[in-house]
Each structure stands twice: as C-alpha cells, then as structure tokens.
Structure 1
Amino acid sequence: MSLSHQQKVYIPKDVRANQYITAEIKVTDALLAHYPDYKTCYQTLSRTIFSLGDQEGLYNLHVITNDKLPVVRFHSEAYCFPTAEQIIFFYNPVYHEAQTLHTKDDYRARKIRIVFLATGDEIRSHSANFHIKVQSFLAKLMPQLPEQELTIKVRDHQHISYDLFAKAKGNKETYGYKLRSINHRYKARECPIPEAHGSLCYVTVKLPLSRKLKQAILPEHTSDFTPLYQKLEDAFVQAAAAKKLNRIAMVANGLTPLVRNSKFDQVDGTDEVQMLGFDPNIEEQQFIRHWDGDKLVEMVSFTIAAGTKDIKDGGFGRYLNRVEEALKSFTAELPIDKSRDDLIVRFHQHISYQAPQQLLS
C-alpha cells in the first residue's frame, strides 16, 4: 500500500461539514463609557456588525452578549435553542441565513462574541476563503468601534460528521480525505494565521443507551448502573489502547463535553458543560472518566484527542483510521444492530489566536 493511500481516510460520501468562527471582544469599562447603558451598547454594535456582514458577504451572523457558549450542528431546518449556559444552533449552510442579537437586559457581558456560521456548499474546501472574509470583516470593524484598545480572540471551529456504520446500511460510496491541519491548509491558500496560535483536534462519538443495550448488560430492576458503565469503559479503554490512542475520555453524567488544551486553558466544569483537558505533547495515557453508577443517562459520550505526533507525516488521515478501527473494535463488543443503529463520528479541528494588529489594519 502506498504511503499516500495510508495517509488517507475513506469517509462516506454523504459526510456533513460544518464551520463556524467566533470573534470575542472583551467588554471593558472604556468601551461601555461610550454608551448610556448596556442595552444601547449591544444594539448599536450589533447594527454595525450586521451592516458590515452584508458588505463582506457574511450572511449568517449572530452577536452574543449574554456570555452563552455557541454550539453548532447540521439540520435540515434552522433552530436556535438557548439553555442557561449555551446557545445551540441547528442549520443547513446551503439554505439558512440569519442576523440575530442574543442578549439579556441589564446584564454586563464579559465579552461580546460574534459568531460567523459558514454558508454555501463545499464548506471544507472553501474554509480558508471563509476565514479570509472574517479577517477582512474584523479589519473593517475595528476602526468603527468607539474604543480602539480592544483585543479580539479568533476561534475557527470545523468538523465533519458521518455514520460509522454507513456501509452496513448500504451506503458504500466513499471519498478519500488526507485531513491536513487547518494551519497547513490555510497556508496553501494564502490565508495568514499568526505563528502564535493554538490548535486542537479530536473525535467525539455519542452512544445512545438503548433498551437492548441495557438489557444485555444489566440485571432486571436494578438501580446500580455501575456494571453498564464499567463494561463500556473497559471495552473503550482496551480498544483505544490497542491502537495507541492515549488521550481519551468517557462522559456519562448528562453534561456536554468540551475539549480544551490543558496546557493553556482552565478545565473547570459548569452545570451544563464537562470540561476535558488534554495535553497533546504528552504521550503517556490521559484517561478522563465522568460517570456515576447511581445515575442512568440517555447518552454516553466518548472522546479521542489527537497528539502533536498525529499531525506529522501527512496529516490526520492515519490518526482517524486508527480511531475508526478502535471504535469498530469497541462496538463489536456491544449488542448493536449496525444496519439500523447510527454511531455518528465527529472529527473536530479547532484553531485559535489573538488577532494581531497587522491583520486588523
């Protein structure tokens, strides 16, 4: 087998791609001093942002001034679900456009977060052009702000999702991906990214705890779910170890997992979010577990994070191949009907940086 072939992963052709970029502007006393109150500040800035978005060809824009975390997923219909800590956006990038201010009266935000949702088709191949548009937008926005000493943190989130069991359902057409890092893809398309940037790559899967699965593992009328969780944990850890995947997590506490680089970011949890911190430079096993045998959840989330070595020698293709092999070995131990049940694999790539002045001028 050629080296080029080994570096590719063959993914079902009906794979779905998402991309969104956030620009976070810290709210300072100096900024607020230009407005009579918070509401006026947020409304004035959002009007400026939406007008400039139209000019730059950015047609799905959200301004968040209530410090809620954006989560983006594909859906054939457009929905926006706010929770106490999150705003979950469902949309189809081919069809859906929006300009929305998400705010809270009499609330001082820690940051103003602008969320740019990618639109159109061929999201992944056009990702660099989308990022360039956002950089151009920010360069034109800054002179229009009443306070010039503001910093902007840019985060580019991309993921592709597909059913691991697609072939068992008759979907045999695939396409080969090399899955290069965002930085390498952008450099090839002359999209400038600062040298001082952070990057993160990981895979998540969510396993529904079906009645069939629970009945196969648990005794009847039990209130102790430890055997179920322990069976899943043991099978997952063993499958990952066999493929030398050392940065893994299992979350079964009802919270939304959020992956961060533990070397740079705080990893404290909240009422809705379970923070998972991995150091991509450490090769020793990093296993994070969050489950309670007294509590039964509907879904178990598994995370496999990539390390620094996984980016070398041709990208993430071989990494995702190992992940797929581990997941197939893991699910082979479980009573799952691959012709009917879905196991959605999400391959995430993130890059973040503080926008330097040369990009904003």
Structure 2
Amino acid sequence: MSHSSLKSSRIRRSYGQQKVYIPANHRENQYMSISLELTPAIQQQLNCVDTTAKSSSTAIEANTLINTTQILNTITRTFREVCEEYRLRNSLLIAKDKAVIVRYGEEPYIIETETQIFVFYDPKKHCQYKTIAKEAHLPKRITFVLLATGDTIRQRAAQFHQQVIACISALAEQLSIATTHFTFIDRQHITYDLFDAEKGNKETITHSFRQIAERYQHQGFLVPHNSQSERYIVATIPIQQQMIAMMQRYHQNEHVKNHQVVSKGKIGEIKDDVTKLQQVMENVVYNALEQTNLAQVAIVGNGHIPRIYKANKTTEAVINNNNVTRIEQVKDIALPQLQTYWQYNQLEDVIYLVFYGNEQDAHKKRYAKFVTKVHTALKQIAEELSFDKATHLMTVRFYQNLSYQLK
C-alpha cells in the first residue's frame, strides 16, 4: 500500500471514531439567551402607555419618558425577584438592541461596543446581576441572559435549562405576558487550544460531542418538538511572521490554484501583495476542505467577529456592520464551498475559520466525527503555513445552540 493510501486509510478510520481527545484543561460555557419583543400590545399590557396624555409634543415627550422608565423598572425588578427565587445568581438584563457575546475571563467585566456587548466571566467563581440599558430608551426587544455557574457545566446542563424555563415562566406570569412571546436559545461552548500538547500539557480527556437533545434526554428532559439546533466550530488563528514568509514562498512557487471561492469584501487585483497572501490562505484552506470532505468553511479576515445564523434559503447572505460579520449558513451544499471575507489591502493579525456542521455530520447523535475532521483540517493548515504550535494558541471553540419558543 502506498504512503498516500495508508494516510487516507488512517484518516477514514479516525473519522469513524465516536470520541475525540481534547485537552483536559478545556473550558465549558453555557448560557440561556431569552428575548422578549416589546410590541405595542405588550407595552399596553405593562401599562406603559398613557392614553389620556394630551397631544402636545411636550406632553408626549414627558409621557414617553415616564412610560419607558416604568416598563424598564417593572421588568428589571420582576426579573431580579424571580432570579433570586430560582437561585439564578448570574444574570443580565439587556435593554439594548445589541448582540451579546459570552467569553471566559479570569476577571468579570463587560465591554460594550456600538453593536455588541461582550460578557467575560469564570463560571467557577463569578456571580453578578446587572442591567444594561439606556436611560429613557425602549429597545425593540429585551434580552435576558442567564449564565451557568459551577465546575460541572455540561453534567448539569439539562437541570440549568429547566431552571431557567421555570424562572422565565414565573416572570411571564407576574408580568401577565403569555410565555409564547419568549424565544429561548440555549448556547453551549467548549473551548481549547488545539496544540496544547505541543506546549507541554499532555493530559487529555475523551469527548463524544453529543447532541444537546440526546444529552438532555439521558438527563431526564425532553426538548420540545419545535426546537431547532445548530452546531459549528470557530478556530482563531493568529498570523505570525513566519506564516507570512511561508505564504510568500508558497505564492512564488506557483502553488496557487483557482478554486471556487465565494468572496465577500475583497477588492483589488491579484497583483496586490496582501491579496496574494489572502489567496494563498484561501488555497491552503480549500485544500484542507477537500482532503477532509468538509462541506462549508468561511474565512473571516476583515477584523470583524463572525456571527453565524442558520439561513432559511439555499442562498448565503452577509451583513458587515461595524465589528460584526454576519454569516448565514448555506443549506444543502454537496460540493466544498469556501466563503471569504477580507479587509482590502490589509492582512489582519487574527483570522477566523468557521466550520459549519449539518445533520449529516452527526453519527449516532454525536459530532465526534465532525470535530475530528476539523482537527485534521486545522493541523494540515498549520503544517502548510508553518504555524508555531509550541508558543501560539490555535483556539478551537465548538458551538451548540438549541432554540425554541415556549408554549
């Protein structure tokens, strides 16, 4: 058997495995994001519209301030009360129309940009209750964020999920709002450095990356039939000088091929030096995509943070809004497709690779096969680009989301 055939055989066998080795020092996060759209009917229900107000502009402005303050105070006070009742000690009320991103942090703090709110915390030791709102401003929707705590996040995930449902159901009852107005998203992350062993940390554990619904069923909770799930992996790759030098040599040796790439945000001709490096990255990633039979990957190299959404159509859409690149996953892709989002004439310090998973990537309700493919692809990319595994982090974050509306 040839060396290439032997290598392919080993890859196929590894893909069939039901568990993956990941670093023992991996981090787990879970948080529930519940949104309530503040429709006129709901505002009326909360008695935040005074129909007796006079029609003068001064009276309207004053009344708007009173109503806005009233609705925010009512929701904030009631939410805090039910959180205390159900012993949910790490919660946020977001009264701004901004995306919420939760990350691990040794110290608890919140960073707010024009379009995003970053929440950093350590689930093992941090608890907080906080309201983020703009005075006299009523957003389109209120977002309640409840963060899991403790050192057994995954084992207690179903229990935490049910705890949050009970809390929000109590909130809805006290506010006299039907639970059907609340949309739930259960968000879970597993984060680790792919090359942690190269840094001397040899201890690992096995992980099967089971589907949320399957895990919850084993823990005694059946998810609603109307629920939707999604899963994807985001790898963070810092660009180093030796990688740039390798990409320059790669291009000079004319290894670059023209693949089918869906490019967004890249302007200019190939003669531009930065564009050449970007094309090399595209080729290296596409080669790994073909070798591992991964259907969809996106390169986000425009300085923005990728936000992934499930598309309802077979077309892909992107919205570049300040620091956010919104990517909607394309359905029913048979051939490898690479989407790219570059910054013109600039190679960013960090590039994100987004790997989409679909139902075909699940084997016996587990995603170990999908994760193994992504690991193989990333290791191939790192090898071709001379990534310094011993000193630099290649952060891999596996996302699982479960969403539905309460009945």
Q: TM-score, normalised by structure 2?
A: 0.82
In structure 2, the gaps of 5 or more residues are 1-9, 49-65, 250-270
Q: Which amino acid aligns with 2:311?
A: S
Structure 1 position 246 matched with structure 2 position 295: yes
Distance in 1 between the 2:67 and 2:222 partners?
37
Root-mean-square deviation (CA, aligned residues, Å) is 2.3
Distance in 1 between the 2:24 and 2:233 partners?
19
Aligned-pair distance for 1:172? 1.3
Number of the residue aligned with 2:28: 17
Alpha-carbon deviations, 1:326-351, whole Å to 9, x = none? 11011101122211111011011111
Number of the residue aligned with 1:165: 195
Greater shift in the superposed pair: 229-238 or 307-316:
307-316
Greater shift in the superposed pair: 83-92 or 167-176:
167-176
Assess if the C-alpha contact under 8 Å between 1:32 and 1:38 holds in 2: no
- Give 2:108's match in structure 1, choosing from 66, 78, 81: 78
Change (3 A) 1:150 1:177: closer
Change (3 A) 1:84 1:63: same
Number of the residue aligned with 2:212: 182
Change (3 A) 1:5 1:326: closer
Distance in 2 between the 1:92 and 1:16 partners?
9
Distance in 2 between the 1:177 and 1:149 partners?
35
- Give 2:403's match in structure 1, choosing from 349, 352, 361: 352
Aligned-pair distance for 1:258? 0.8
Query: Identity of aligned pairs, percent?
Result: 30
* Higher Cα Rg, which structure: 2
Aligned length: 354
Assess if the C-alpha contact under 8 Å between 1:239 and 1:329 holds in 2: yes
Aligned-pair distance for 1:147? 3.9
Residue aligned with 2:206, SS:
strand
Number of the residue aligned with 1:255: 304
Alpha-carbon deviations, 1:14-37, whole Å to 9, x = none? 010011111101101122231242
Q: Whose helix fraction is larger, Structure 1's or Structure 2's?
A: 2
Alpha-carbon deviations, 1:32-61, whole Å to 9, x = none? 231242122112211111111111111110
Assess if the C-alpha contact under 8 Å between 2:15 and 2:372 holds in 1: no
Q: State how 1:144-293 maps to structure 2 within 5 Å.
A: 144-148=174-178, 151-218=181-248, 224-263=273-312, 267-293=318-344
Alpha-carbon deviations, 1:177-225, whole Å to 9, x = none? 1111111111221223211111111111111122333344359xx9731
Assess if the C-alpha contact under 8 Å between 2:362 and 2:369 holds in 1: no
In structure 1, the gaps of 5 or more residues are 357-361
Assess if the C-alpha contact under 8 Å between 1:204 and 1:346 holds in 2: yes
Structure 1 position 31 matched with structure 2 position 37: no
Assess if the C-alpha contact under 8 Å between 1:280 and 1:306 holds in 2: no
Alpha-carbon deviations, 1:54-91, whole Å to 9, x = none? 11111110000111111011111111000001110110
Residue aligned with 1:10, SS:
strand
Runs (4 or more) in structure 1 with deviation over 4 Å come to 1-5, 264-267
Change (3 A) 1:158 1:296: same
Distance in 2 between the 1:42 and 1:196 partners?
30
